[in-house]
Amino acid sequence: MGAGAASGGAQLLPEVLAFSSSLPLDRALLKEDVIGSLAHLIMLARTGIVPRETAGRIRDELFTVFGKELPEEEDVHMAVETLLTRALGEEAGMLHTARSRNDQIALDLRLHVREQCALALHELFLLLQELADRAERERDTLLPGYTHRQRAQPVSAAYYLCAWGAMFQRDMRRLHPPSDLPLGVGALAGTSLPIDRHLVRKLLHFGSITANGLDTVGDRDFALDFAYGATRVLLHASRVATDVIDFATSEFGYVTLDDEIAMGSSMMPQKRNPDLFELIRGKCGRAVGNLMSLLVTVKGLPGGYNRDLQEDRQPLLETGPLLVSVLRMLRLGLGRVKFDGARGRAALEDGATAATDIAEALAQTGVPFRTAYKLTGALVRKCAESGVSLSRAPLQLAQQIDPRFTAAVLGAADAVASVARKKNAGGTSRESIEEQIQFLRERAHQAKSLMAHTPRLDALLRELKEAAL
């Protein structure tokens, strides 16, 4: 059998084969493909569609393909079939009974996404844990929080870490492994043979079977969901990266990069560049591109399978490893970023970031907030004119503006007290940070348990090797 066996024996032009083959990419799905074939084969044997002895020989042969070189074929499915046929002759052809490459690839891709979800959930678990641990140690490190990249209000480094964790824990919901089995719908319309889809479903640990063959073979929603979930993670990683990159500049100076992650310049000897974080930010572009590529591939396709769908391979197969590596690098990188509390405090001193606290303290004495806001605004300007920091505004100066300013109101400007006072849920106080850290730990454990409940390829392979025929 040569290339073209899938075309009813017709021999494809070599250039056409080269152009149309997905093997260079989908050889990465070999394990998934063998697993799908094993489950299908076991079902064919148990339903009596294929004799048990034949099924046994095919199963043994399926396990040998991992050590062999894949022949030039249209795709990984045909490459495996060719290897089986070389070893077993015509009998190998029984494996493809009641199956099409259309439902086969739909299965392989789901198995791939499920495995990648598990790997990503593991990394998410580690990252959330790292952020929670780190937040516990950075409760007393203060620095400005920003809006519009202008110093806004005092926060702790722990608050930043919890904010980053809050983004990634949301992504967990987007990384749910696909749970519906596509195999058994054939090319589009099902099969006249008495197959048992639920048996295959159980063998492969899927929760349900797809409802309609025409839909199933053209459906890549699970791939789009995964690509979007991954893109969301990378978007979040890119935003964290920008905070770190900015904070590592001498202009901000709130963090320093450990030698293990700071990169130099080939010309400027003084440089300690945040290349790692720039690359994390840069890789996000790829994820966005891959998502777009998948969306455009699916857009406007007629019902059923169309070969255009093969173009899902590059963006989808790139997504999982990209996601996992970025999560891992972010964790390793953040673990080697040190906060400089003195720089943070200095920025709070001359940033008038206490203005809101003073206005709120004044409002608490009964002054309407809008009035308190205006009076504090006037105080900020007066302090700037007289060259004193707002956090050290003399009472006398404040009372020239309004006698309702008191020493206690001005005392609200202290950054430590300011952070401690934001006691409401989601705020910066010690109690609130405690809750946020607790929340991240819970979410980390949910990620871990979701991962633990996700069936893995190697375990499946072992199960299917032993399963009765």
Q: For ligand ARG, which residue of 5, 42, 80, 105 counts as binding (CB under 6 A)? A: 105
Binding pattern for the stretch 66-85 against ligand ARG, x by CB under 6 A and - elsewhere: --------xx----------
Q: Which is nearer to ligand ARG, 74 or 123 (CB)?
A: 74
Q: How far is the CB of 77 from ligand ARG (least distance, A)?
A: 6
Determine the residue with CB nearest ligand ARG. 75
Residue 22 interacts with ligand ARG (CB under 6 A): yes or no = yes
Residue 102 interacts with ligand ARG (CB under 6 A): yes or no = yes
- Pairing of β 337-339 and β 150-156: unpaired
Instruction: Name the segment binding ligand ARG (CB under 6 A); options: 101-109, 266-274, 320-328, 352-360.
Output: 101-109
H-assigned helices in 138-203:
157-171, 197-203
What's the CA dihedral at 376, 380, 381, 383 to 10 degrees? 130
Catalytic residue among 7, 40, 122, 148: 148
Residue 309 interacts with ligand ARG (CB under 6 A): yes or no = yes
Residue 220 interacts with ligand ARG (CB under 6 A): yes or no = no
Q: Is 265 a catalytic residue?
A: yes
- Pairing of β 208-209 and β 255-257: unpaired
Residue 297 has a CB neighbour count (10 Å cut-off) of 22
Catalytic residue among 7, 265, 386, 449: 265
Q: How far is the CB of 222 from ligand ARG (least distance, A)?
A: 15
**Spacing of C-alpha 281 from chain mean position:** 13
Residue ranges in 405-444 that form contacts with ligand ARG under rule CB under 6 A: none
How far, in Å, CA of 94 to CA of 57, rounded? Answer: 11
- Pairing of β 180-181 and β 208-209: parallel
Return phi, psi of residue 147, to 5°.
-130, 145
Q: How far is the CB of 102 from ligand ARG (least distance, A)?
A: 5
Residue 307 interacts with ligand ARG (CB under 6 A): yes or no = yes
How far, in Å, CA of 392 to CA of 333, rounded? Answer: 37
Residue with tokens 């799905």: 29
Q: Which is nearer to ligand ARG, 181 or 367 (CB)?
A: 181
Cα–Cα–Cα angle for 230, 233, 238, rounded to 5 degrees? 125
How far, in Å, CA of 204 to CA of 217, rounded? Answer: 18
Q: How far is the CB of 25 from ligand ARG (least distance, A)?
A: 9
Q: Is 148 a catalytic residue?
A: yes
3-state SS, residue 362:
helix
Residue 236 interacts with ligand ARG (CB under 6 A): yes or no = no
Q: How far is the CB of 304 from ligand ARG (least distance, A)?
A: 10
Q: b/e per residue, 67-105, with b = 16+ CB within 10 A?
A: eeebbebbbbbbbbbbbbbebbeebbebbbebbbbbbbb
Residue 112 interacts with ligand ARG (CB under 6 A): yes or no = no
H-assigned helices in 248-274:
none
Q: How far is the CB of 13 from ligand ARG (least distance, A)?
A: 16
Binding pattern for the stretch 253-292 against ligand ARG, x by CB under 6 A and - elsewhere: ----------------------------------------
Contact residues toward ligand ARG (CB under 6 A) are 22, 26, 74-75, 101-102, 105, 305, 307, 309-310
**Active-site residue numbers?**
148, 265
